Structure 1
C-alpha cells in the first residue's frame, strides 16, 4: 500500500497541494534550480515553480489553463500519459525521462522523479522534480554517434578477456555479428602467434597502466587476418578497459611489398655493379692488347713509303683511346648513381686552382678562380668531378689556345650557385638542352675526341645532390650555372631537429 499524504484542497491552482504552502517550503521550491510541478489526476497543472516557468517561458497567470500534456513535446506524450497513470496508481518513478515543449516550441530534455499524493485512498495530485538534461543528452547523442560512425574499431572490454561493447566497425572489418563478438573471448579471434603478447598487454592493463602502439592480428570470418594497432586505457578501480584499434592491414601489406622490392632492387644493383666492373675489365683488356699490337706493327714497318700505314695505325690507336675513354666514362656515370661520400671542408678556390694544374691547358690558356668562392662542408669528390668536367669541356671545346675560363660562386638561399664561364665559341640555343643527354656532342668525333657522357654525368651528380644545372649562351661564350646545397642533407636535418 503506497504511503498516503493528506491534501485538503488540491483544486486550487498556483499552490502546492494542501493549500498555500508554508512560506519556507514554498521559498525552497521557488528558489530551486530544478523544475518542480504538481499535476491533478485529470492532468491539470496545479503548481509550477519559478525555474519551471522561466525554462518553459510561461507566466504565472498562464498556468491555470494548462494541461500537463500541453507542455509535453509531442514525441514524449504517449510516454508521459503512461507514466502519469503509473504514478496515479501509487507507483513512484525515480528515473523518468521525457521532453517538454516551451511556449515558443523549443524542445527541453529533462530527467527526474514523480510520486502521487493520496487522501482516503484516492489520488489527489502528483509532484515531480526534474532537471534539464538537454545539453547532456545532446552530448550523449553525439558520443553515441561518434561510437557508431567511427571508422576505427572502438570497444569496451574487460580484463576477463571479453568484449562488453563493440561499435559497428568491428562487424564491418571482421565480418562477425555483434552477438558473436560479445559471446566469445576476444583471444579466440587473435592469431595464435600473437596470443602470448596479447595476454601480456592485458596484464599491464589489469595493473592500471595504459597500453599504446600495441599490434596484433585478428582473424576475420573469411579466415583472413587483419593487422590492428591498439591504444587502450583501463578505468581506474575497475576491470573495464576502453580501447581503439586501427586496421592497418593494407599499409602493412604495402610495406611488405616495398621491403621485398627494395631487397630485389638491392640484389639487382649488386648484380649490375658486378656486371659493370666485369664488363669494364673485360672490354679494356682487349683494347690494351689492340693498342700494343698497333705499336708493334708500327715498329716493324719500314721507314719509307709507309706514311699511309702509319696514318692508319695512328687512327687505330686514336679509336682505341676513344673506346677506353667511353668505358671509363660509363663506369664513372654508373658510380655517380651509387657513390656516397662523407662531407668534408671544401675550399673551392683551392679546388679550382688544383684542377687548373691537373688539367694542364695550353700555356696561353687561363683558368681563374673569382674572389668570393665559398669554403663549406660538402662531399668533395662529386663536387670536384662536376667542376673538373665543366672546366675540361671549356678547354676542350674552345676554338683558341689563349682562351679563358672563370669560376665564381655566391650564396643563394640554402644553396651555393656556381658559374663556370668561358669565352669560347658558345652553344646554339637549339642545342642547350640536348647537350645534357647521353652520347651528345656538338662537333664530329673525328675532330674532337670524347665520349659525349661528360655533361650527362654532371647533371646526374648535381641533381642527385639536390641541385640544378643550366647553360646560358648567346653568341660567343657559355656559362654553366649549377646549384649545390650549402649544408649537407644530414646536417640540414639536424638543424631542423636539434633533438636528434
Structure 2
C-alpha cells in the first residue's frame, strides 16, 4: 500500500494558521526550556509586561516572579520538569515599571524537546475585584456586628415571613430563633394596631421606601 502524500500547500497553510494564532492571541503564549529561559513569546507579552522580546528572552523567568511567590513557583516548575502538567497556577509577574500583574498559567512539558508549552492569562483585574469584594464583606460584617449590638433586627421575605433575627429580637420577644423563623410578625403582634396600619407598612416597604413608625408588640 502506498502511503498517502501530504500536500505541501496544505502544510504551508497549517503553519501559516499556527503563526497567525500565535501572534494574534490575546492570551500570553510562550515556550520555555528546562533551564527556565523563554524560547519564544507572542507579542501580547510586551503589551502586558512592558518588556521587549529581547529583554524577556534573556531573562530567567523566575527573576520576574514576585519574591513572595518564588518558592511556590519553583515547586510548580519542578513538577513540570517531572513531566506533570500545571493547571490554573497563579503567580505575580513584574512589569517594566516595577508593578506586578497576576497571571494564571496552564503549562504542558515536552520531555523529548526539553521544552514547556505555556498559556498565561492576565487576571489582575479579577484579583482586584476579589480584593475589593473581600474588603466590602469585611466592612459589612463589622457593620452587622455593630447593628446587632445596638438594635433589634428582623429580616423577612416579600411575603412577610421572618428569615433572620438577631439575638436582641429573641430576647425582647422571648421567642427562640427556631420559633420565629418562617413565621410572620403576627406571632408577636399585641393586637394594638389595626389592619390598615400594617397594610400601610408593607405597601411602603414593597415600594422600596423606608417605613418609620413605633410598633407595639
Q: Aligned partners of 2:205, 2:46: CA distance in 1, in Å?
A: 62
After the TM superposition, which residues 154-303 of structure 1 pair with which residues of structure 2 at under 5 Å, given as runs? 154-276=29-151
Gaps of 5+ in 2: 157-162, 167-177
Q: Offset of 1:396 from its aligned partner?
A: 5.0
Q: Offset of 1:141 from its aligned partner?
A: 1.9
Q: Aligned partners of 1:435, 1:240: CA distance in 2, in Å?
A: 64
Aligned equivalent of 2:203, options 433, 454, 465: 433
Q: Offset of 1:275 from its aligned partner?
A: 2.5
- TM-score, normalization by structure 2: 0.76
**Are residue 388 (structure 1) and residue 187 (structure 2) matched?**
yes
* Change in 2 beyond 3 A, CA 1:186/1:33: closer
Q: Aligned partners of 2:69, 2:203: CA distance in 1, in Å?
A: 58
Q: Offset of 1:33 from its aligned partner?
A: 6.6
Q: Aligned partners of 1:435, 1:188: CA distance in 2, in Å?
A: 58
Aligned equivalent of 1:335, options 127, 138, 154: 154
* Change in 2 beyond 3 A, CA 1:335/1:202: same
Give the SS at the match of 2:22: helix
* Change in 2 beyond 3 A, CA 1:381/1:431: closer
Q: Aligned partners of 2:134, 2:88: CA distance in 1, in Å?
A: 21
Partner of 2:215: 451
Aligned equivalent of 1:397, options 194, 199, 203: 194
- TM-score, normalization by structure 1: 0.35
Q: Aligned partners of 2:3, 2:74: CA distance in 1, in Å?
A: 52
How many residue pairs get aligned? The number is: 194
Q: Aligned partners of 2:202, 2:143: CA distance in 1, in Å?
A: 34
Q: Offset of 1:431 from its aligned partner?
A: 9.5
* Change in 2 beyond 3 A, CA 1:246/1:380: farther
- Contact (CA 8 Å) 1:439, 1:451: kept in 2 or not? no
Aligned equivalent of 1:141, options 16, 21, 25: 16
Q: Aligned partners of 1:202, 1:243: CA distance in 2, in Å?
A: 12
Q: Offset of 1:392 from its aligned partner?
A: 6.8
- Contact (CA 8 Å) 2:46, 2:53: kept in 1 or not? yes
Q: Aligned partners of 2:165, 2:18: CA distance in 1, in Å?
A: 54
* Change in 2 beyond 3 A, CA 1:387/1:151: farther
- Contact (CA 8 Å) 1:231, 1:243: kept in 2 or not? yes
Q: Looking at CA atoms only, which structure, 1 or 2, has the larger radius of gyration? A: 1
* Change in 2 beyond 3 A, CA 1:240/1:382: same
Give the SS at the match of 2:182: helix
Q: Offset of 1:340 from its aligned partner?
A: 6.4
Post-superposition Cα deviations, 1:62-101, rounded to whole Å, max 9, x if no partner, equal xxxxxxxxxxxxxxxxxxxxxxxxxxxxxxxxxxxxxxxx
Q: Aligned partners of 1:336, 1:32: CA distance in 2, in Å?
A: 75
Post-superposition Cα deviations, 1:231-260, rounded to whole Å, max 9, x if no partner, equal 111014331100111111111112111111
* Change in 2 beyond 3 A, CA 1:140/1:222: same
Q: Aligned partners of 1:133, 1:180: CA distance in 2, in Å?
A: 36
Give the SS at the match of 2:35: coil
After superposition, the CA RMSD in angstroms is 3.2
Q: Offset of 1:156 from its aligned partner?
A: 0.5
Q: Offset of 1:435 from its aligned partner?
A: 7.5
Larger RCO (CA within 8 A; separation ≥ 6)? 2
Post-superposition Cα deviations, 1:203-222, rounded to whole Å, max 9, x if no partner, equal 11111111112111110001
